[in-house]
Amino acid sequence: MQTGQGQVVENPAWVIILRLVSLSSRRFVATLVALWVIAFAAMNALADALPPSTWVALKSLPRQGRTAIFALAVDPSNSQLLIAGNSEGSLLRSTDGGSTWTSVHTGKAALTTVIFSPFNSAFVLAGTRGSGGLVSHDRGATWSAGAGLEGRQVRVFSFSLTVVAAGTDKGVFISEDGSSWQQSGLTDRSIDALAVTAIHEPIRIVAGSDSPLSAGTVPMFQSTDGGATWSPLSPAVSGTYVVKLAAGPLPQVGDTRPLIAGTNAGLFASTNNGSSFVALSGGSVLPSTDYTQIAFITDHHDRFYAASDGGGSGAGGLWRTNDGGQTFGSLVPPMRSITALAVSNDESPFLYVATFRPSDHVAALWVYRDTGGTPQGPIVTPTPVASGGRTSSGSPGSSVFDILTWSQTPYIGLGLGALLVVVLAVVANTRSRRR
């Protein structure tokens, strides 16, 4: 507008808003929709904009109690969609990276594992301690019991392209879709670990047990026909039982997937389907302890994460390798005992981590965006179990500075600004109609 002295002054924001609402109803609605899209995009960007290589505390699981979290998984096609199991036997689902949780299944048996199929993310399986297995075909929104696993302790699942294998307290079971299961073999063995090392026909599966074959021999078995028959392996690895097995993607050269085995005494790697292993632990970085979690990055045969709860020794932690296990670096988790690990399918993946502090039985959830930088300590520290709150660290002045320099700040401003414009436009439009 123009002042009496002839100066041209920019229209103030409220004039712009009034002009906006003077538009026709159709254009007004279209404008609101556009603004809402901007706000929604900003909020989605906010969800993805975690500080790089920094530990961030997540809200505690509802009704978790003072028990460790063992079941945690992330959708391979959506890094913000999580499934977790709490100590009461319930499955919980989050669509915002663990900021909020919704109960999707209520049970009585503790959850031992949950996993998305790497080939079909709508297909999700969960195992329980004594109540069999559960299956979902809608990304964990609804669940049903898997027939044939009643009464079983289901500890692990592993997928091929056509079938899935389950490790239980009474051997291995096989299913095509998770709805019905058939006994496969090793019925006299308690199976804690499984890995499908050949996903095409003939399907090759490696299984690990907690019952020694003989003195000084770690119990490991293989099937080269999709679980129809089994034969023992006799790997020269230390330990008395197998805690975890994981098969990585195919390397650029060759047709054999890397196989990583975690025992109660160390971490080992095989490049010949488990016929022989080399030790990865025992050096200055990677301790000789029990390794309960192993996760590969999709499309990277030489990049994986290994974690340990320490077995009560205090030697737990979380480590990363980018060279197939030749070297490791610690990600310095806020608590050293790692009980569950879920890694998203991204080049800079989200690591969702469950920790447990035996001294006071505090279970906590964390997220870490691994961009390859030096790990930074948590911005906040979780309060004791089940409170779900967060407490700030540092002085008030430093907290304000952290907020202003936080990587999410531009997205927060964009989202709040767009929402403010929408609200003001609606209010102004309502007032104009009353005149």
CA angle (161, 75, 261) in 5-degree steps: 60
11 CB-contact burial (10 Å; exposed 0-12 / middle 13-18 / buried 19+)? exposed
Query: At which residue do the structure tokens 């920019």 appear?
Result: 10
User: Are residues 222 and 76 located together in one domain of the fold?
Assistant: yes
Contacts of 362 (CB under 8 A, 6+ apart): 66, 335, 356, 382, 384, 385
Rounded to the nearest angstrom, the gap between the alpha carbon of residue 420 and the centroid of all alpha carbons in its chain is 34
We report the CATH number of the domain holding residue 185 as 2.130.10.10
Determine, yes or no, domain membership for 134.
Answer: yes
- Evaluate whether residue 6 is within a structural domain: no
C-alpha 268/C-alpha 251 separation (Å) is 18
Same domain, 91 and 110: yes
Residue ranges of the chain with per-residue pLDDT less than 70: 1-49, 212-216, 379-435
Give pLDDT, residue 335.
94
In-domain check, residue 3: no
CA distance between the termini of the chain: 24
Residue written as tokens 């499908």?
196
Indicate if 21 and 154 belong to the same structural domain.
no
135 occurs within a structural domain: yes
Same domain for 76 and 168, yes or no, is yes
Q: Are 266 and 333 in the same domain?
A: yes
**What's the number of domains the chain is made of?**
2
**Ramachandran angles phi, psi of 417, nearest 5°:** -65, -45
What is the gyration radius of the CA atoms in the chain, in angstroms? 26
What pLDDT is stored for residue 50 in this prediction? 86
Do 276 and 379 share a structural domain?
yes
Helical axes 25-48 vs 409-434, angle rounded to 10°: 160
Mark whether 159 and 37 lie in a shared domain.
Answer: no
Segment 40-93, tens digit of pLDDT? 444 444 445 689 999 999 998 988 888 899 999 999 999 999 999 987 899 999
8 A C-beta contact, residue 77 and residue 69 = no
Asked if residue 202 has a cis previous peptide bond (ω within 30° of 0), the answer is yes
pLDDT at site 425? 56
For residue 419, being part of any structural domain is answered with yes
Whole-number Å distance between alpha carbons of 39 and 240: 55
In a domain, 349, yes or no: yes
Quote the domain boundaries for residue 141. Answer: 53-390
Residues with Cβ within 8 Å of 359's Cβ and at least 6 positions away in sequence, in order, are none
Answer yes or no: do 168 and 71 share one domain: yes
Residues 342, 286, single domain; the answer is yes
CA distance 253 to 301: 11
Edge-to-edge strand order for the sheet containing 293-297?
Answer: 293-297, 300-308, 317-321, 329-330
Residues 423, 358 share a domain: no
Residue 425, Cβ neighbours under 10 Å: how many? Answer: 20
Q: Which of 140, 138, 139, 184 is closest to 158 using CA atoms?
A: 184
- The pLDDT of residue 404 is 38
Same structural domain for residues 26 and 62? no
Is 282 a domain residue? Answer: yes
Would you say residue 374 lies in a domain? Answer: yes
Instruction: Looking at the structure, tell me whether residues 173 and 306 fall in a common domain.
Output: yes
